[in-house]
């Protein structure tokens, strides 16, 4: 467990504001250990399941450390001291399946224009913080087309790598000289195009209204983000990749129940080799469940409390939680778990009614002093936004920020034991 800090060395001074930002949850639950720079770098993993988890089987009945484990969480019971389950967290989202896309941002894309970072997700904020320290600022993986989980600062969706062989290749297979030369040419061409766009925008700015200048500034911010990514790619082109500790992952047809643990193994290796410090994994509503000898996953989520459908849905959800437990096992064996904050959950609170309220959320790992089952206030005037938890998680990661999404502050310790 991490030590509670009592001095000011872990308070953050926001650049350009001069405001000393106290970290209530960070200092009591998510406080950083004093450590040499990058000796044990912070990592963040976010796992999103589009259809969520049936609430009656997911949430424990009791609050605190001594809660009785729920049916769904039984599969990860052996790690119960290493995660916190949260109840009554959400960002007031609506829209059903469309609202799920805001799980890691707190903001739907269609309402993002008034926010400085649009619907940017926490993984991408963390990736910007990491910068060029790793080959991949972030890795987004998932089954099929994913869940629309990850969004950039400019409001662009990041699709997942959905083939384990492609992920293995990116992590461990060395490119030949011809491929490296081709990639360098491509990056140089893209950089020259960006230079031309930036020059044209600079000439246009004096002719614009205040509103149009704001739009131009947002555009240039996106351009700068792309430039930064190009610089990162250039810096790593000639750096050798780590040697794989496992046999090559071949490009072959696999069932989804085989792909999930394989993806988790590869993401563990990505963290262990410091190929990235930020990763996401997406489980779509199109997750094929016939391999578990049950009906359509999406169909089962619309159970209408049918006992037969709920029984089959529980088989699926227990399987997913077993794979989460396997992922924790792997990270512990690789000795990265205590420095990795792992978020598991969904922007769907109840798949049967398409509700985006009271979302299933677990925060695991990170050397955090976990609280078992944390029941947050349910009254609207006292409700804690989910974005508050994301802001505190980002501060734990080292990001200097005083807001994220629809946050009203850091995650208050009002309900901590």
Domain containing residue 46: CATH number? 3.40.720.10
**How large is the average pLDDT for residues 243-249?**
93
**Could you list the residue range(s) of the whole structural domain that residue 85 is in?**
34-166+247-415
Q: Which of 193, 208, 239 is the last residue of a domain?
A: 239
CB 153 within 8 A of CB 293: no
- Transcribe 356-367 into DSSP letters: -SS--EEEEETT
CB 381 within 8 A of CB 29: no
Top pLDDT among 381 and 253 is at: 253
39 in the same domain as 144: yes
Question: DSSP 3-state assignment of 401?
Answer: coil
361 in the same domain as 315: yes
- Tell me the average pLDDT of the chain: 84
Separation of alpha carbons 36 and 40, rounded Å: 8
The lowest-confidence range among 88-102, 162-176, 259-273, 346-360 is: 162-176
Separation of alpha carbons 374 and 413, rounded Å: 10
Q: Which residues, including other chains, have CB under 8 Å from residue 407's CB and lie 6 or more apart?
A: 106, 385, 387, 388, 390, 391
157 in the same domain as 132: yes
Q: Which of 239, 266, 282 is the last residue of a domain?
A: 239
CB 400 within 8 A of CB 14: yes
Residue 212 has pLDDT above 50, yes or no: yes
**How large is the average pLDDT for residues 36-42?**
71
Q: What is the pLDDT of residue 229?
A: 56
- Single out the residue of 188, 124, 145 nearest to residue 390, CA to CA: 124
- Which tokens belong to 353? 């009614």
The answer to whether residue 87 sits within a structural domain is yes
Q: What is the pLDDT of residues 98-116, one digit of tens each?
A: 999 999 999 999 999 888 8
Q: Which residues, including other chains, have CB under 8 Å from residue 215's CB and lie 6 or more apart?
A: none
225 in the same domain as 107: no
56 in the same domain as 108: yes
HSE at residue 28, side-chain half, CA atoms within 13 A, is 13
Q: What is the pLDDT of residues 276-321, one digit of tens each?
A: 999 999 999 999 999 999 999 999 999 998 999 999 999 999 999 9
The distance from CA 172 to its chain's CA centroid, rounded to whole angstroms, is 23
* Burial category of 411 from C-beta neighbours within 10 Å (exposed 0-12, middle 13-18, buried 19 and up): buried
The answer to whether residue 305 sits within a structural domain is yes
- The total number of structural domains in the chain stands at 2
The answer to whether residue 21 sits within a structural domain is no
Residue 409 has pLDDT above 60, yes or no: yes
Separation of alpha carbons 103 and 265, rounded Å: 24
The answer to whether residue 409 sits within a structural domain is yes
Other CB atoms within 10 Å distance of the CB of residue 374: 25
Q: Which of 188, 219, 239 is the last residue of a domain?
A: 239
Q: What does residue 170 show for φ and ψ, rounded to 5 degrees?
A: -65, -35
């Amino acid at each position: 467990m991490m030590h509670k800090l009592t001095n000011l060395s872990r308070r953050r001074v926001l650049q350009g504001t001069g405001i000393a930002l106290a970290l209530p949850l960070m200092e009591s639950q998510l406080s950083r250990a004093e450590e040499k720079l990058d000796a044990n770098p912070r990592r963040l993993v976010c796992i999103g399941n589009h259809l969520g988890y049936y609430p009656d089987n997911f949430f424990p009945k009791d609050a605190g450390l001594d809660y009785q484990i729920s049916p769904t969480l039984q599969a990860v019971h052996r790690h119960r001291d290493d995660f916190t389950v949260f109840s009554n967290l959400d960002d007031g989202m609506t829209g059903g399946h469309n609202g799920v896309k805001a799980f890691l941002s707190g903001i739907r894309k269609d309402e993002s224009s008034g926010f400085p970072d649009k619907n940017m997700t926490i993984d991408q904020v963390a990736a910007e913080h990491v910068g060029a320290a790793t080959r991949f600022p972030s890795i987004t993986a998932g089954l099929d087309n994913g869940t629309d989980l990850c969004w950039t600062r400019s409001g662009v969706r990041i699709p997942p790598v959905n083939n384990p062989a492609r992920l293995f290749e990116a992590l461990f297979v060395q490119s030949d000289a011809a491929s490296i030369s081709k990639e360098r040419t491509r990056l140089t061409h893209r950089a020259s195009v960006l230079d031309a766009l930036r020059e044209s925008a600079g000439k246009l700015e004096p002719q614009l209204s205040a509103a149009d200048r704001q739009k131009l500034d947002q555009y240039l911010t996106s351009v700068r983000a792309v430039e930064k990514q190009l610089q990162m790619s250039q810096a790593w082109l000639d750096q050798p990749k780590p040697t794989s500790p496992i046999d090559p992952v071949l490009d072959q047809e696999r069932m989804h129940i085989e792909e999930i643990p394989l993806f988790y193994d590869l993401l563990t290796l990505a963290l262990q080799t410091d190929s990235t410090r930020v990763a996401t994994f997406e489980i779509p509503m199109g997750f094929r469940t016939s391999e578990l000898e049950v009906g359509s996953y999406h169909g089962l989520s619309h159970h209408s409390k049918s006992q037969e459908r709920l029984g089959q849905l529980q088989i699926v959800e227990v399987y997913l939680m077993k794979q989460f437990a396997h992922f924790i096992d792997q990270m512990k064996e690789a000795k990265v778990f205590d420095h990795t904050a792992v978020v598991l959950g969904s922007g769907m609170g109840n798949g049967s009614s398409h509700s985006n309220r009271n979302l299933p959320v677990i925060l695991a790992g990170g050397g955090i002093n976990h609280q078992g089952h944390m029941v947050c206030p349910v009254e609207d005037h006292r409700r804690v936004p989910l974005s508050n938890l994301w802001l505190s998680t980002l501060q734990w990661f080292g990001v200097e920020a005083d807001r994220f999404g629809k946050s009203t502050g850091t995650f208050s310790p009002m309900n901590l034991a």
